[in-house]
Structure 1
Amino acid sequence: MEVALVVVVVALALSFDYTNGFHDAANAIATSVSTRALTPRAALIMAAVMNFAGALLGTEVAETIAKSIVNLDGAPDHTALVVILCALVGAITWNLITWWFGLPSSSTHALIGGLVGAGLAGGLGIYGSAIVDKVVLPMIFSPLIGFGLAFFVMVAVLWLFRRASPSKTNRRFRIAQTASAAAMALGHGLQDAQKTMGVIYMALLTVGFASAEDGIPLWVKLAAAAAISLGTYSGGWRIMRTLGRKIIELDPARGFVAESVSAVVLYVNAFVLHAPVSTTHTITSAIMGVGATKRLSAVRWGVAKNIGIAWVLTIPAAAFVAAIMYWIVHPILG
């Protein structure tokens, strides 16, 4: 039974990774597409390739997901695997709901919410202090830093290019956006694919198919990288419209700054803090930051409010679905 559950968990984890890819494809390319720096198809191909590369650059975020959210020590293998399975169902469900309504919610927090909800339903311990340090505080500060940094960098760019020809400046920033979009896609793969690696690694550790000393197996890294890349290539047009046009009409300079600032925030959290932050929160807040340099009323705050509500609801909603799934599935499989 445990082997079959591991197979199901791996399949569900890769399915979550795929939904993460098409749900969050907009994170990397919406600004470049909306400013016409890249065509949609070229942007998706570039994002898929950079997602794959980013997924192979580190494992620190994956280790955090595997070892710092739910305490599986001492839990029966069967219970631990059902908790992981139900956590993935909760995360996938919330991803699909928010994708349908075009809301750029966080796949990261959907997964963490699912783990917390299923873990509590299964009577397992939760690493509260680690969740506060690695999830809650970055969830609060990353968007604030993204907004503030994007605002001030954009002000600096506007001052530096205040006497430049608008047409030439736009043309140059469109070219520069190819690099900034690639950097953002690399950060997306670095952050989001590792969360799937962490979940699969957690399941493998539970039944002894992997060891903490050897780390995450290569096949897990490659499978997670491939799944998120395929998902990204399939696109996420509903959310792309929200990020690229509904929050604010972006120009190439603002698109470049938003992407560059977001990429820096993602890299710092992955390589320095080892924190699983949301690429969605980071790029959305950066877009708001560069938009606010026009004037505060240039940002469509009604759309921003709806996005904010989705952010707040993500962890409890995914946790609720995962807990319900556990109470349904565990007796059946038990």
Structure 2
Amino acid sequence: MEHITLLLAIVIVTALVFDFTNGFHDTANAMATTISTGALKPKTAVAMSAVLNLVGAFLSVEVAKTISSGLVDESGITPEVIFAALVGAILWNLLTWLVGLPSSSSHALMGGLIGATVASVGFGGVNGGVVVTKVLIPAVAAPLVAGLAAMLAARLTYKIGKNTDPKATAKGYRAGQIASAGLVSLAHGTNDAQKTMGIITLALVAGNVVAPGSNPPMWVIVSAGVAIALGTYLGGWRIIRTMGKGLTDLQPQQGFAAQTSAASVILASSNLGFSLSTTHSCSGAVMGAGLGRKGGVVRWSTATRMFVAWGLTLPAAGLVAAASEYVTKQGDWGVAAVAVFLVASCVAIWFISRRQVVDHTNVNDVEEEPAGVVTTAIAAVTPPPVGDLKATIAAPAEPETESPRPATV
């Protein structure tokens, strides 16, 4: 680490900040259903998830290698490019957390990296084949595969337990949920912590600290694992509420089916080196499990806003990163200006979040429709659900009432 410059140190710290936001942003992936069904108390759930995220960070480096040596051409990458990419990813993470929408931290990071690279060296610096095969295809396939698996698993659990005592069955599945939630947390560590490892390794390659194609150094693995574990322990309560109560109402059997299906998809993709979105996998599994119970429903208004956010993640993070890269290219003052902008934006988002606090004490309350600029923009481009539209058309118009006239003297 003796060759690390001040700029490279700033990039590494920023990457760990992103890893921290990734932790609290994606805690819902592992623990939302466990918390919503009462299998674990909220604080206990996030503590368990934090420990297993840390353990998972040490199990593999395949995804880290995809980020550090596959997504973009290393020869055209500078520390300024990586810094700009992280700015785009962090801001998108915080905005979607503010409005309680589960979105992909992975895609925010990759969108930022792609946008900053294009702004720096052009489209030739992006390996399009890797983007398609290891990013875009898994992004579409993961929620579909996890959702279908969770729906079939939920139906199977209800079929197996139809002649058993409901209370005893629910108790058993709550225990199963704890185990499956731990598996999702472990899978999250093996996949998402590696993305920060990959981005730091890419920065070290750009700064000529390690050779191209190198595995992440041990200190990178340790620091990335600790950062994501700390973020996880804080708990992304806003997104946990959406995943646990906003998409559908889950019983313990469904929660177990959702978590087991999601963990299987995530662990398989990590082993293959696919930079999979754990958010997409877990959200798809929750919706599939919701449909797996007879009479179960999915709140498609919330799901549609979430889908729109997924579609905006890559381009939104990419545009912010591209603008940041343009400023950082102006020299030291440009890097300082972008850093100040990032810090100011983070502080502003935090203060806005304090207007309506969501924490472990109220995470299972009925979700209210989120308000704010980002949600308004998403809602503006989101068509109303078919059921809502039919109800609106069928509803009789309310009679107009005249306001009382003022008394005359």
TM-score range, shorter chain: over 0.9
Structure 2 length-normalised TM: 0.78
Residue range with higher mean Cα deviation, 212-221 or 223-232:
212-221
In the alignment, which residue of structure 2 is the partner of 1:307?
Answer: 306
What aligned pairs does 1:238-253 form with structure 2 within 5 A after superposition?
238-253=238-253
- Specify which of 90, 99, 110 is matched with residue 97 of structure 2: 99
In the alignment, which residue of structure 2 is the partner of 1:46?
Answer: 48
In 1, distance between residues paired with 2:101 and 2:321? 20
In the alignment, which residue of structure 1 is the partner of 2:23?
Answer: 21
Instruction: State the shift of 1:180 in Å.
Output: 0.5
In 1, distance between residues paired with 2:213 and 2:202? 13
Instruction: State the shift of 1:142 in Å.
Output: 0.6
Deviations 1:120-176 (A, max 9, x none): 000151000111000000001011101111111111111111111111100001111
In the alignment, which residue of structure 1 is the partner of 2:292?
Answer: 293
In 2, distance between residues paired with 1:259 and 1:15? 27
Are 1:278 and 2:277 an aligned pair? yes
Structure possessing the higher relative contact order (Cα contacts under 8 Å, 6 or more residues apart): 1
Q: Is the 8 A contact 2:65 2:213 kept in 1?
A: no
Residue range with higher mean Cα deviation, 149-158 or 34-43:
149-158
Q: Is the 8 A contact 2:21 2:90 kept in 1?
A: yes
In 1, distance between residues paired with 2:240 and 2:215? 35
What aligned pairs does 1:153-302 form with structure 2 within 5 A after superposition?
153-212=153-212, 215-271=215-271, 273-294=272-293, 298-302=297-301
User: Residue 208 and residue 128 in structure 1: after superposition, are their counterparts in 2 closer, same or farther (change >3 A)?
Assistant: same
The letter for the 2-side match of 1:331 is Q
Q: Is the 8 A contact 2:155 2:293 kept in 1?
A: no
Instruction: State the shift of 1:297 in Å.
Output: 6.6
Deviations 1:285-327 (A, max 9, x none): 1000010123577110100000000000000000000001111
In the alignment, which residue of structure 2 is the partner of 1:9?
Answer: 11
Deviations 1:196-226 (A, max 9, x none): 0000000111222123475211000000000
In 2, distance between residues paired with 1:64 and 1:215? 11
In 2, distance between residues paired with 1:201 and 1:244? 35
In 1, distance between residues paired with 2:80 and 2:184? 34
What secondary structure sits across from 2:164 in the alignment?
A: coil
Residue range with higher mean Cα deviation, 287-296 or 201-210:
287-296
More helix per residue: 1 or 2?
Answer: 1
Deviations 1:213-250 (A, max 9, x none): 75211000000000000000011010000000011111
**Unmatched 5+ stretches in structure 2:** 335-409
In 2, distance between residues paired with 1:171 and 1:29? 17
**Unmatched 5+ stretches in structure 1:** none
The letter for the 2-side match of 1:40 is P
What secondary structure sits across from 2:183 in the alignment?
A: helix
Structure 1 length-normalised TM: 0.96
Task: Name the larger-Rg structure.
Answer: 2
Residue range with higher mean Cα deviation, 213-222 or 38-47:
213-222
In the alignment, which residue of structure 2 is the partner of 1:69?
Answer: 71
Q: Is the 8 A contact 2:154 2:293 kept in 1?
A: no
In the alignment, which residue of structure 2 is the partner of 1:36?
Answer: 38
User: Residue 221 and residue 6 in structure 1: after superposition, are their counterparts in 2 closer, same or farther (change >3 A)?
Assistant: same
In 1, distance between residues paired with 2:4 and 2:219? 20
In 2, distance between residues paired with 1:247 and 1:194? 28
**Number of residue equivalences:** 329
Instruction: State the shift of 1:36 in Å.
Output: 0.4
Residue range with higher mean Cα deviation, 212-221 or 26-35:
212-221
Deviations 1:97-123 (A, max 9, x none): 000000000000000000000000001
In 1, distance between residues paired with 2:292 and 2:29? 21
What secondary structure sits across from 1:27 in the alignment?
A: helix
In the alignment, which residue of structure 1 is the partner of 2:113?
Answer: 115
In 2, distance between residues paired with 1:91 and 1:18? 12
User: Residue 213 and residue 326 in structure 1: after superposition, are their counterparts in 2 closer, same or farther (change >3 A)?
Assistant: closer
In 1, distance between residues paired with 2:118 and 2:274? 22
Residue range with higher mean Cα deviation, 154-163 or 113-122:
154-163
What secondary structure sits across from 2:201 in the alignment?
A: helix
